[in-house]
Amino acid sequence: MTECTRCGGKPFYTRRYSGETLCASCFKDSITDKARRTVSKYQMIGTGEKVAVAVSGGKDSLSLLRVISDVYGPRQNSIVAISIDEGVAGYRDEALDHARSLSKELGLEHIVLSYKELFGFTLDEALDWQDERDISSCSFCGVFRRRAIDEAAVRAKATVVATAHNLDDYVQTFLMNLMHGDVARLAWLDPSYSDDTFPVRRVKPFMEIYEEEVALFAYQSGLPFQSVNCPYMHEGLRSEVRDYLNTMEANHPGIKNVLLSSSLDVISHYARTSDKKSVPCSSCGKPSSNGLCNVCRMKATIEEHVKYGP
């Protein structure tokens, strides 16, 4: 193996799509630099803004918290970590501990908001009627988590909320939206997406970084890996899309990068021309496409079925 392209040091990782070989330290710097470039390219974080970082406690979000804290805090921006407790017994506790201890180590405020507190039920309670449900637990949980992150960011008085979606997540979601016929949701993937009715911008500083590289960064930074998977994880189509993209990337290094830039072209065109008109939800006042938002619609379904715990 050749030496580090940047400093001549001991090789650690070769980027097949660029041919660059890096030592461990240059690799870590390259991830931080990439995230910084993405943030500046899409004007994700303004000087002096309060940034909320959504931290699930998995390796991606812990890495994001570390990078955002190293690059933007504390002199330039004030940073707060936010976590959502879905209420899944035996699963979320470990991740929340990781989020809590990293926030503490970095000297950051850490806000935890639970489904129970916000919606009146835990995910365990909501999914208790599994036999009858016609939506997958992940899309179900995703709708609530998105609302909960928004709410936590508002409570934290942040003006921007950063999530740890990486390049793989991004292109998988793009393809899945196409496969579900869910073209309207493409607007959510716009890197500078803003919604007139919602005061907090959502940004993805890792959206140009491969999942594999984020995992290596986490490992190199000594960040903990969560040992328990969500018991409701039911990825279906997503894992097929992930496998397909990984095979394509192995055969054609760099193809994920190309797919990202094609996706961004399509999305920016779509975002410019689409009619983003939304109407306030009749129940909660948040934006919706047809008068009742997804959260309230799903909440109503759950309330019909849920058997509340003690």
Q: Which residues bind Zn ion (CB under 5 A)?
A: 4, 6-7, 9, 23, 26, 281, 283-284, 293, 296
**Quick one: tokens of 112?**
């935890």
| Sequence-separated (6 or more) residues with CB below 8 Å from residue 191 | 42, 44, 203, 204, 207, 264
- Minimum distance between the CB of residue 143 and Zn ion, rounded to whole angstroms? 11
Q: Rounded to the nearest whole angstrom, what is the least distance from the CB of residue 152 to Zn ion in the complex? A: 17
Angstrom distance (rounded) from CA 239 to CA 169: 11
Which two tokens mark 50? 């309060």
Instruction: Tell me whether residue 40 or residue 197 sits nearer to Zn ion (CB atom).
Output: 197
Place of tokens 């180590």: 105
Question: Shortest gap between Cβ of 27 and Zn ion (angstroms)?
Answer: 8
Closest to Zn ion by CB, 28 vs 92, is 28
CA angle, 143 as apex, 138 and 145 as ends, to 5°? Answer: 85
Both tokens of 30, joined, read 């390259």
Nearer to Zn ion, 3 or 70 (CB): 3
Dihedral-angle region of residue 107 (phi above 0 means left; psi in -120 to 50 means alpha; beta otherwise): left
DSSP 231: T
Q: Please, which residue, 6 or 305, has the CB nearer to Zn ion?
A: 6
Closest to Zn ion by CB, 283 or 301: 283
Asked if residue 284 lies in contact with residue 111, where contact means CB atoms within 8 angstroms, the answer is no
| C-beta of 79 vs 296, nearer to Zn ion | 296
Q: How far is the CB of 3 from Zn ion (least distance, A)?
A: 8
Residue 28 Cβ vs Zn ion, minimum distance, rounded to whole Å: 10
HSE toward the beta carbon, residue 27, CA cutoff 13 A: 25
Chain position carrying tokens 């009715």? 197
CB–CB of 207/170 below 8 Å? Answer: yes
Residue 266 C-beta: closest distance to Zn ion, Å: 29
Residue type (1 letter), 237: L
Residue placing its CB nearer to Zn ion in the complex, 55 or 295:
295
In whole angstroms, how close is the CB of 81 to Zn ion at the nearest point?
Answer: 27
